[in-house]
Amino acid sequence: MPSFTLPVVAMSPGVATTGPCTYKTSREMRLLFGEQMISDDLIAFLRRSECITERRTQRMLEVNPRQPMLPHAARLEIEGLLRVWHKLHPEVADHVEFFEERPSSTA
């Protein structure tokens, strides 16, 4: 029996397609951590977990899954990774705020 897979192709930042279906992805999700500065270990963990991770300030990261997904799915993915991180590092404070920004239009 033949198997069929729909290729996922990134068309442009923030847009992905699977065959005829096109959907937006979250490409600018920023996390603001409480009073504790972000460790290099957390950044490395998120990168090993297939997330594009950039430090914006000492307490802010921009994190986005490499796989195209809907914005709410991307947020759930990142929240799950942060839960795992906090289980592995209970000494780290867990106050995190999400800032989801819309991609700027290039008109």
Residue 84 has pLDDT above 90, yes or no: yes
User: Which run of H or E residues covers position 84?
Assistant: helix 71-88
* Prediction pTM value: 0.67
Question: How far apart are the C-alpha atoms of 44 and 47, rounded to whole Å?
Answer: 5
Tens digit of pLDDT for each residue in 92-107?
766 788 876 555 444 4
At 90 the pLDDT is 85
Q: What single DSSP character describes residue 42?
A: H
Pick one of 3.30.70, 3.40.50, 3.30.1330, 3.30.110 as the CATH number of 27-100.
3.30.70
Q: Give me the residue spans of the domains in the chain.
A: 27-100
Express as a percent the part of the chain with pLDDT over 90. 35
Tens digit of pLDDT for each residue in 26-50?
457 888 888 777 889 999 999 999 9
Lowest mean pLDDT among 33-37, 73-77, 84-88: 33-37
Contacts (Cβ under 8 Å, ≥6 apart) of 54: 61, 62
Residue 10 has pLDDT above 70, yes or no: no
